[in-house]
Structure 1
């Protein structure tokens, strides 16, 4: 089975209008709890759309709603629907197209490809020129899909490959308070 079994596109809210006429069949929106519904979503007709709200944090912080296993269960149910339609084109977006959307795209690619988690995560390098998947989301998906750490290994492999190509990102990741996520 190829990774992914369906076409996957990743973007942020500002890019949504660019993709509404390219045959998207499934749209996964992951936005902050207080983010207004993006008006560009109105341009997506007759698509299977799932809107999930949680903030882009990788731990519990006061004033933020962190991802929970229930959120990832919704992502996986969405993935089941997308996977069941031949030739589906999945568009995944979050606010900037960097953290939650790349994590969700990787989760969707891993969902029906056990044993190919590293390959699925490395596919992100082709799908999005910049990204830093949300660790918390991947941890929950790894547990829910019973992958025994394989998805986390895929995430680390992706981050190593990304930082090899773009070493300057290490400093950016440290500056945004996520330096603990840098591979050792």
Structure 2
């Protein structure tokens, strides 16, 4: 991700945040549930820039829960644009994107940022790189759909997401039942 002068990419969950405090994180994108209290983990971090967005990790609207929206994904891409604008001020950087478990919202956000900064990169290659960063990645399909539209990828990110899900179900068969139990059966079905 040289165009935005970020040399290290990390995805994690809340429980993993303390272990990241010694890794010279320069930028953080936090994707949290709306009712979660402010996290204290970042007090131990060196100076960094942090953006927090609050919505639930769901793929169908539910009463009392905040569904991911086009506006949320636009804010993620705005975060990416600001990283690019600030690139001249640094030699390198470490971007940490996290959500509750580091599996769905954060991986969708990171994939969106990678697709934004490398518009010529093939979609399957982007998902393969995402798996090297976070092997357990199961990106939120709603977020990927919005990113696909906003980045004008013409449905190619969503098609690659289907192949990614199929890869993940083969690599981690427990995901089939786990995602179904979480109300994400539609994503399991996307894998074919």
Q: TM-score, normalised by structure 1?
A: 0.91
* Among candidates 123, 139, 162, match of residue 133 of structure 1: 139
Q: Is the Cα contact below 8 Å between 1:8 and 1:89 reproduced in 2? A: yes
Alignment RMSD, CA only? 2.0
- 1:149 alignment partner in structure 2: 155
Task: Name 1:71's counterpart in structure 2.
Answer: 72
User: Contact 1:82 / 1:90 at 8 angstroms: preserved in 2?
Assistant: no
Residue 5 of structure 1, CA deviation: 7.1
- Tell whether the 8 Å contact from 2:4 to 2:84 is kept in structure 1 after alignment: no
What is the aligned partner in structure 2 of residue 106 from structure 1?
Answer: 111
**CA displacement at 1:131 relative to structure 2:** 2.4
CA distance in 2, matches of 1:98, 1:171: 15
More divergent stretch after superposition (168-177 vs 68-77):
168-177
Distance 2:187 2:159 in 1: 13
Q: Which runs of 5+ in 2 are unaligned?
A: none
**Residues 1:119 and 2:125 aligned together:** yes
CA contact (8 A) 1:8 1:90 kept: yes
- Distance in 1 (alpha carbons) for counterparts of 2:54 and 2:185: 25
Deviation per CA, 1:128-164: give whole Å up to 9, x if none: 1312111111111111111111111221222122122
2:30 paired with 1:26: no
Mapped to 2, the partners of 1:21 and 1:70 lie a distance apart of 33
The Cα of 1:25 is off from its aligned counterpart by: 1.2
The aligned length equals 184
1:59 and 2:64 matched: no
Q: Deviations over 1:25-60 (max 9, x none)?
A: 110000001011111022233212100111111121
Please give the TM-score of this superposition, normalised by the length of structure 2: 0.88
Q: Which secondary structure does the structure 2 equivalent of 1:8 belong to?
A: strand
Give deviations 1:51-72, integer Å, cap 9, x for gaps.
Answer: 0111111121111011111111
